[in-house]
Amino acid sequence: MTVRLAALACLALLAPSAAPAQSPELRWGGDAEGGAPYVEADPADPSRVVGFDVEVAQLLAAGLGRTPRFVQVGFTSIDAAATRGDFDVGLSGIEDSPARRARLAVTIPYYEFREVLTVRASDADKYRSLGDLRGRRVATLGATLAYDLLADAQARDGIIPVTYEDDVHPYSDLVLGRVDAVVLDAILAQRGVRRNAGLTNQATPLAVGHYVGILAPGAAAMRDRMNVILRDAMRDGRLEAILERWDVWNEDQPRLYARVLTDASPYPVAASSLSSEAGPSSSGTDAARSLSAPRTLDAARRYLPALLRAAVITVVLSCLSMALAIAAGALIASGRIYGAAPLRIALTGYVEIIRGTPLLLQLFVLYFGLAAFIQLPAFVAALLGLGLNYAAYESEIYRGALEAVAPGQLESARTLGLTERQILVLVRAPQAFRLALAPMTNDFVALLKDSSLVSVITVVELTKETSIFAANIGSWVLPGLMCAAIYLAMSLPLARVARRIERGWRQA
Amino acid sequence: MTVLDVRSLEVRRGGRTIVAGVSFAASPGEIVALMGASGAGKSTILRAIAGLDPIVSGTVAIPRPVGMVFQFHHLFANMSAHKNVWLAPVHVFKRPRVEAEERARELLASLGVGDRASAMPHELSGGEAQRVAIARALAIEPRVLLMDEPTASLDPGRRGDLATTLRSLARDGRTIVVATHDAEFARACAHRVLAVEAGRVRDVS
C-alpha cells in the first residue's frame, strides 16, 4: 500500500516536467555560476535563469518552434558536455577558438569582445601592457582565450600566469596584491572594476574574441538553421535589443554584424585575433595573427615539460603536507591519549570538524575567507589546508595504533621505572608506528591525489595543468592518459617502499 | 631482618574483592613461593606488591626498584634482547651507555643466553625469553625479585634449571617471591611455601 502511494507520488512529481509536450524542447547548456550578464539565477526566482545568453537561447528556440529548457553545466566541462549531447546548444559566453571549431559544430559569432588588462589604479602608468609585467603574477580564468594570451606572454614577456576557477577572485586578489594584473574579457573586466574600488581597465585591448554557440560535432544542419536565425536577428534588431537590455551593446557589434551578414560562410570571421599593441583602432579587425589549431601529438610534446613541472609541484606539496600531517597528527593523538580533559575535548572537536567538512571548503576558507586578516600565499595555504586536514585522519590512525600496543608492554616498562613520556618515546610509539605504516601509506597516496583540489586556490599542479592541456586541444583522452601515467609513476614506488619497510621489520 | 613486609593487604578489581587480609614477610636471600590454583589471587598479590594495581587497604613495605618477571615476559617487541636489558639502566638510572651495555651482556651470559643478545623477542624460545626477562629485571639491581608463573613456559627439564638459577640468585642476597601453581617446583626452589586460597594466604612449609 505505502509502496503504491509512494509510486503515485513519484509520478505526480515527474508529471510536470513531462507535461509541456505541446512543442519539442530546445535543451541549451550554460553555467549559472558564470553570473550576469551571461546566465545567472534570477534573484527574484532562483529556479529560473536570466541573462543575455538566456535570451539568445529563447531567440533560437522561437526560431526553431521549440520551448527552451536550461541545462546546468560546469563551464570548464561545457565542450565535453556538448560532444556527449547533454544539450542541443551551449550558450554561456563561450569563446570561438580553433580547437572548438575543429571538434564541435560552432555557430556564427553573436558578440564581439575585447580582452582587457585590469590593474590597480596606482599602477596604471607602470603596467600598460603585458610587456610591462615581467616576473609579475597575472590572473585569468582557466581554459579561456585570455589564458592562451597569458601562456604566450609567459614565453615572450616572462609574466607568471595564475588561473582561477571563477571571475570574482582574480579581481579581489588584485586589490589584495596577490596578483598585479588581470586579463579577461571586457564584460567581466567592467564588472570587476565596478565591484572593487581602486582598480582600472587599460584602454588598449590585448585581443579580440567572439562568443558563439556550440553544438555536437554531428549537428551541422542544426547549426546552419541557428545561423540563419542569428543572422535574421542581427538584421531586424532583435539581437541588438537583447544586448542593449543587458547593457553590453557597443560600437564593435555593428561592425561584427556587417562582416557576418556580407559573408554567408559558416565561419565569416577568424576565431580570435590578438591585437598588435598599436592601439584601439586596429581592434575588431582580423589583421593580427590568429591562434592555429594545435595538432594533438605536437601538443603532447609541447605540454609534457609543463606536466612534469606540475608533477614536481604535486610531489613537493604532497611530501610537505604529509610531513605536517604526520607531525600534527602525532601531537593530536598523544594529546588525546595523555592530555587533560579540556585538551582532549578540544582535540576531539578539531578532528571531528576537520573530518566532517569538505577539504575544498577548508581550502576556500584558508585562502579567500581569511584574506581579510592574513593573506597566505597560495602555496602556503595549500600546504596548511592539506596538512591540517590530513593531520585529523593521521591522528586517528596513530591513536588507534597507540591503543593497540599490548598493555603488558606498558606495564613492564612501568615496573622498570620508565616515565610515561619515556614509555611513549621508547616503547609505545615505535611499536604503534609499525601498525600505522600501512594505513599511512594509504593516506599518502590519497593525499597525492587530493592535492589536485588546491587548483581552486590558484596553485597549478598536475591535474590543473592537465585540464588546461585538455581544454587547449579539446580532448581529454591523451592528457588524461599522460596525467594518469604520471600519478601512477609517483604512487607505485611509494607503495613499494612501504612494503619493503614492512618486510624488513618482519625479518628483523 | 625483613626486606619485604606485606600487612593486611586488600585488593579489589571491578568492585569484587580479589585479595583480603594477606600478610607475610621475607628476609634477604629468601625464596618465598605463593602457591595456589589459577584465580586464587597469586598474580594479584604480586601486581599489588609491584605497584601495578592499587591497594584498597593494608601496607606493602619494599625497597625500590622492584624486579618483576611476568608470566608472558612482555619483552619490548621493538628492540633486541640486549637493548631490553640495558634500556632502563641507561634511561632511568642514568648509567653510562657503554657500562650499561657491558653489564647487560654479562647478565645475559650469566643466565646462559649470551649468544641471543642481538635476537628480537619474537625470535626467542619461551625459556630464552624468560631468561632475558630475568636479566632485564636484574639489570636495575632490585633487592626483591617478583616472578609470576615462571614454569608456565618451560618444559619439565628446564624447570630444574630455573630452580637452580633462582637458588643462586638468592645466594647473592636477593629476596625472590614466586607465584606458581606447580607444587613440585615450589618445593624444589622455595625456602617457604604459602598457600593462596580465595584471596588469603597460609604457611604450609
Residue A356: the pLDDT is 93
B31, HSE (Cβ side, Cα atoms, 13 Å): 24
Residue ranges of domains in chain A: 20-110+212-264, 111-209, 296-507
CATH of the domain at B17: 3.40.50.300
Residue A286, CA distances (Å) to A269, A274, A368, A487, B182 in order: 8, 8, 39, 42, 104
Percentage of chain A lying above the pLDDT 70 cut = 89
At A198, the pLDDT band (50, 70, 90 cuts) reads very high
Cell (9 digits) for B83:
637493548
Closest by Cα among A97, A123, A219 to A180: A123
Secondary structure string (H, E, C) spanning A144-173 = CHHHHHHHHHHHHHCCEEEEECCCCHHHHH
* pLDDT value of residue B153: 78
What pLDDT shows up at residue A295?
Answer: 62
Model confidence over A270-294: pLDDT tens digits? 776 654 333 333 333 333 333 444 4
Q: CATH top-level class for A20-110+212-264? A: alpha beta
How is A263-293 classified by DSSP, letter by letter? --SS--S-SEEEPPTT-GGGTTSS-S--PPP
Contact list in A for residue B136 (CB cut-off 8 A) is: 416
Of B66, B76, B120, the CB nearest to A415: B66
Of B92, B108, B142, which residue is a domain's last?
Answer: B142
Query: How high is the pLDDT of residue A3?
Result: 47
Instruction: Show Cβ contacts of residue A66 under 8 Å, excluding neighbours closer than 6 positions.
Output: A23, A24, A25, A26
The reported pLDDT for the residue numbered A15 is: 43
* CA dist., res. A215 & res. A441, Å (int): 45
Domain with B167 in it: 1-63+143-205
Vertex A157: Cα angle to A152 and A161 (nearest 5) = 60
User: Domain for residue B39, yes or no?
Assistant: yes
pLDDT at A56 over 60: yes
SS3 A47: strand
Helix intervals (H) in B68-155: 81-91, 97-110, 126-139
* Residue A61 backbone phi and psi in degrees, to 5: -65, -45
Q: What is the pLDDT of residue A37?
A: 86
Confidence (pLDDT) at A19? 42
Alpha-carbon span B13 to A358, nearest angstrom: 45
Residue A282's pLDDT is what? 33
Is B65 close to A426, i.e. CB distance below 8 A?
Answer: no
CA atoms within 13 A on the CB side of B107: 26
pLDDT tens-digit readout, A393-431: 999 999 999 999 999 999 999 999 999 999 999 999 999
Q: Are residues B58 and B114 in the same domain?
A: no
pLDDT classification of A375: cutoffs 50, 70, 90: confident
The verdict on B82 and B106 lying in the same domain is: yes
Put simply, the answer to whether A431 touches B50 (Cβ < 8 Å) is: no
Flag residues of chain B having pLDDT under 70. none
Q: Do A418 and B91 touch (CB under 8 A)?
A: yes
Q: A111-209 and A296-507 share one CATH topology?
A: no
Which stretch of DSSP H or E encloses residue A114?
strand A111-120
Residue B4 covered by a domain:
yes
Which residues does chain B have within 8 Å of residue A408's beta carbon, measured at their own beta carbons?
Answer: 70, 72, 74
pLDDT of res. A286: 34
Question: Does residue B46 share a domain with residue B34?
Answer: yes
Residue A506: pLDDT band by 50, 70, 90 thresholds? low
Under CATH, what is the fold of the domain A296-507? Answer: MetI-like fold (1.10.3720)
B164 and B123 within one domain: no
The neighbouring-strand residues paired with A498 are none
The predicted complex's ipTM stands at 0.93
- Quote the minimal CA–CA distance from B15 to chain A in Å: 21
**pLDDT tens-digit readout, B22-70:** 999 999 999 999 998 888 889 999 999 999 999 999 999 999 899 999 9
Where does a domain end: B92, B116, B142? Answer: B142
The residues, ordered by sequence, that sit 6+ positions from B110 with a Cβ below 8 Å of its Cβ are none
CA–CA separation, B135 vs B128, rounded Å? 11
Mean pLDDT of A355-361: 93
Query: Which tops the pLDDT comparison, A475 or A137?
Result: A137
Nearest to B24 by CA among B178, B203, B170, B204: B203
pLDDT of amino acid A137: 93
The answer to whether residues B31 and B129 belong to one domain is no
Q: What is the pTM of this model?
A: 0.74
Query: A111-209, what's its fold?
Result: D-Maltodextrin-Binding Protein; domain 2 (3.40.190)
Contacts (Cβ under 8 Å, ≥6 apart) of A229: A59, A60, A63, A64
- pLDDT (mean) for A450-478: 81
Averaged pLDDT of chain A: 86
Q: Is residue B68 part of a domain?
A: no
